[in-house]
A and B are shown apart, each in its own frame.
Chain A
Amino acid sequence: MVGYIDRIGAIAKRILEEETVDLLIGFKKGTLPMTTEPVLIRDAAETDQLYWDSFCFINLANYLPKREEKIGIIAKGCDLRNIAVHIVENQIKREQLYIIGVPCKGMVDRRKILSFLCGKEVREVTESDREIIVRGEGFEHTLKKGDYLQDNCIRCMHRNPVIYDALAGDLVEERKDPDPYDDVRDIEAMGSEEKWQFFSNLIRDCTRCYACRNACPLCYCPTCFVDESDPQWVGKSIDPTDTMTFHILRAYHCAGRCTDCGACEQACPVDIKVRSFTRKLNKDALDLYGHEAGLSAEERPPLDTYRPDDYEAFIR
């Protein structure tokens, strides 16, 4: 993935110089190994700070809603689907965007690497196409990228950008593995009591910091229901009922819109696998309506459309 940096930089420089765009949203290298920081660039001379590697897990589509300028944006497969969702939902116009699509080989989960290291500190990380080399005081490990991918990337079926104006590299081969929902099936197989237990345990450590919500491009409401104070829909404490209410409602608000980009899960400070909620809804949207979010910038999400062939009889 680091191989994309030069191409990204060159395209960015050109579109800023030619004034195709007013500004560009990309990543710069982070201050610690395995971190990156989203950056906004207006000046072509500053494009040399643009960076790309397997730790660009933040979904840059999150920075688009309500912007008025002409924007260059760098987006991997899933981010692009979120941009498509934004376009459909009138959060940004296609004409405003110059999209540099990144054919994605999967993001590496820094927490999986930290877990492998059992508390030993990483001082330096370098990556090649298939490997990650992790160095620290008195150790060096060469890890296979494939073994440390984010959970969503392991199951990703759309690694290539769906809409774009330029590409950061050659298109990659899509996975042919036909079962991206094996994990959801495991949960579906549980009894209702067991399911409740599973989800209650899942969110036990939740701090209600809302990093999951805020990392998600779908959550652009001016005031989120959990932040309403008049009327107040949900309690503010860490009472399990309130916490569960937040999680279930957040997930439902993403139904048929979530691209499984994984930003929510990566942002969580206490490693809660919040995708366990949204993935069931993604699977339902696929099973019931044949819909996968963001594959086109024209098709509206299934829960805000009427179709004569709707799967529910009462609506037909």
Chain B
Amino acid sequence: MGDKILKKAELQDVLRALKRTYEVFVPVKENDFYSFKPLMDEEKVDLSFTNTRLSPKPLVLPQSERMFEFTLDEKSEDAHIVKESPKDYPPRIIAGVRPCDAKALRLLQVNFDNPEFKDPWWVKRRESMTLIGLGCSQPCSACFCTSVGCGPFNEEGLDILLFDLGECLLARTLTEKGERLLQLGGMDTDADSGLKKSADEVKTKAEKKISSHVPTDKLREKNVNDLFDAPFWDDVAFACINCGTCTFLCPTCWCFDIQDEVIRGEGDRIRNWDSCMFPLFTLHASGHNPRAQKVQRIRQRFMHKLKYYVDKYSNGVACVGCGRCVKHCPVNIDIREVFNLMNEL
């Protein structure tokens, strides 16, 4: 494994050639924002994005996914038998993933792929993916990745990491999957030591540029009930309109709801994204709702990310500092301020 070098303009040809073997997804700008879409034949690969509005999460955890099918038709011999819906897992390249979003997939993994439970669809989809990361040379001011165990050139979860060196790109191979991809794409020019040095410089410079920092050191030792009963939740919650924006845009939010939908006797069992911001999230069949108030819901979001997860997995916080919720919350509820409040309680 090593560092290869290619001209920026060549990336497009390489990815296009790889379409013979893989489905290729890249950030595509539509309606003024970027999201991961299949690379079209005539499309230019555009690396000028800061980050995609929606994270690459839907590529492993689709917002709505048909899990099973069934029929209620008594005449059918399969009546009431729940069968797995046909699915396929074509090999996929996701190119242009930011390091924070790749790290977020690692966080999702503790939920969907752990020694105790394996979500078969999540696991297969994740395994069929090769991630080409793009380091953040120009991190934006709402990002705080370096405070939460990540960084603008963090390698976790990626198979290849691209360094933007101006005219050319340095491709650092991180896994065998990545190596195979580089071979298939015909990227075989080794980077010389001068270019490697430039890549290291780009990285150091970017890390220094991160202007936003949050404290996390005391979260672990805090008593969970003290945080739960902290006096600041009403203030934090006041402006919140309980939309699901923060959780739907977040690359690490993993909650879902399972629904049966039946039309004329034919049914699907569908898994949909859910959000702890929604009242329905905790509504019991009895009609009782343990989180009926918005303050309880907003507390859950922050407690889950910054305390329950921390205590349960000993793996840092459930936030990679991508800044999406900071930028897109319509009422500017800023998780960085909540980090401060909780850590300094």
What distance in Å separates the Cβ of B243 from its nearest Cβ neighbour in chain A? 3
- Give the CA-CA distance A40 to B237 in the complex, in Å: 10
- Give the CA-CA distance A271 to B330 in the complex, in Å: 12
Q: Is chain B's interface secondary structure helix, strand, loop, or mixed overall? A: loop
- Decide if A211 touches B243 in the complex (CB within 8 Å): yes
Closest to A110 in B: B327
- A contact residues, total (Cβ < 8 Å): 42
Residue B332 is within 8 A (CB to CB) of chain A in the complex:
yes
- Decide if B238 touches A40 in the complex (CB within 8 Å): yes
- Give the CA-CA distance A98 to B331 in the complex, in Å: 23
Residue B242 is within 8 A (CB to CB) of chain A in the complex:
yes
Chain A window 25-42, contacts with chain B (Cβ cutoff 8 Å), 1 for yes, 0 for no = 000001110011111100
- Decide if B259 touches A227 in the complex (CB within 8 Å): no
- B contact residues, total (Cβ < 8 Å): 45
User: How many residue pairs at the A-B interface have CB separations less than 8 Å?
Assistant: 111
Contact A211-B141, Cβ < 8 Å, known A38-B331, A227-B279:
no
Taking CB atoms and an 8 Å cut-off, the chain A residues in 139-175 that contact chain B are: none
- Decide if A229 touches B239 in the complex (CB within 8 Å): no
- Decide if A210 touches B244 in the complex (CB within 8 Å): yes
Chain A residues contacting B270 (CB-CB under 8 Å) are 235-237
Residue A245 is within 8 A (CB to CB) of chain B in the complex:
no
Chain A residues contacting B333 (CB-CB under 8 Å) are 37
- Decide if A270 touches B257 in the complex (CB within 8 Å): no
Q: Within the complex, which residue of A205, A214, A235 is in contact with B259, where a contact is CB–CB below 8 Å?
A: A235
- Give the CA-CA distance A210 to B281 in the complex, in Å: 14
- Decide if A227 touches B280 in the complex (CB within 8 Å): yes
Stretch from B14-22, B46-54, B78-86 that touches the partner: B46-54
Chain A residues contacting B206 (CB-CB under 8 Å) are none
Contact A121-B64, Cβ < 8 Å, known A38-B331, A214-B241:
no
Taking CB atoms and an 8 Å cut-off, the chain A residues in 15-59 that contact chain B are: 30-32, 35-40, 58
Residue B326 is within 8 A (CB to CB) of chain A in the complex:
yes
- Give the CA-CA distance A113 to B162 in the complex, in Å: 30
- Give the CA-CA distance A114 to B29 in the complex, in Å: 14
Closest to A62 in B: B241
Residue B145 is within 8 A (CB to CB) of chain A in the complex:
no
Residue B205 is within 8 A (CB to CB) of chain A in the complex:
no
- Give the CA-CA distance A171 to B235 in the complex, in Å: 33
Chain B window 321-337, contacts with chain A (Cβ cutoff 8 Å), 1 for yes, 0 for no = 00000111011111011
Residue B344 is within 8 A (CB to CB) of chain A in the complex:
no
What distance in Å separates the Cβ of A254 from its nearest Cβ neighbour in chain B? 16
- Give the CA-CA distance A210 to B245 in the complex, in Å: 8
Chain A residues contacting B32 (CB-CB under 8 Å) are 111, 114-115, 271
- Give the CA-CA distance A119 to B241 in the complex, in Å: 27
Which of B138, B241, B280, B337 has the most CB atoms of chain A within a 10 A radius of its CB?
A: B241
Residue A309 is within 8 A (CB to CB) of chain B in the complex:
no
Residue A11 is within 8 A (CB to CB) of chain B in the complex:
no
Chain B residues contacting A269 (CB-CB under 8 Å) are 53, 245, 248-249, 328
- Decide if A267 touches B141 in the complex (CB within 8 Å): no
Q: Within the complex, which residue of A119, A214, A267 is in contact with B48, where a contact is CB–CB below 8 Å?
A: A119
A to B CB contacts below 8 Å, 14 in the list: A32-B334, A37-B239, A37-B333, A209-B243, A209-B248, A227-B279, A229-B283, A236-B270, A236-B272, A269-B248, A269-B328, A270-B31, A270-B33, A271-B31
State the 10 A-B residue pairs at the shortest beta-carbon distance, nearest first. Answer: A211-B243, A237-B64, A267-B330, A209-B244, A30-B332, A38-B239, A214-B241, A37-B332, A35-B332, A31-B334
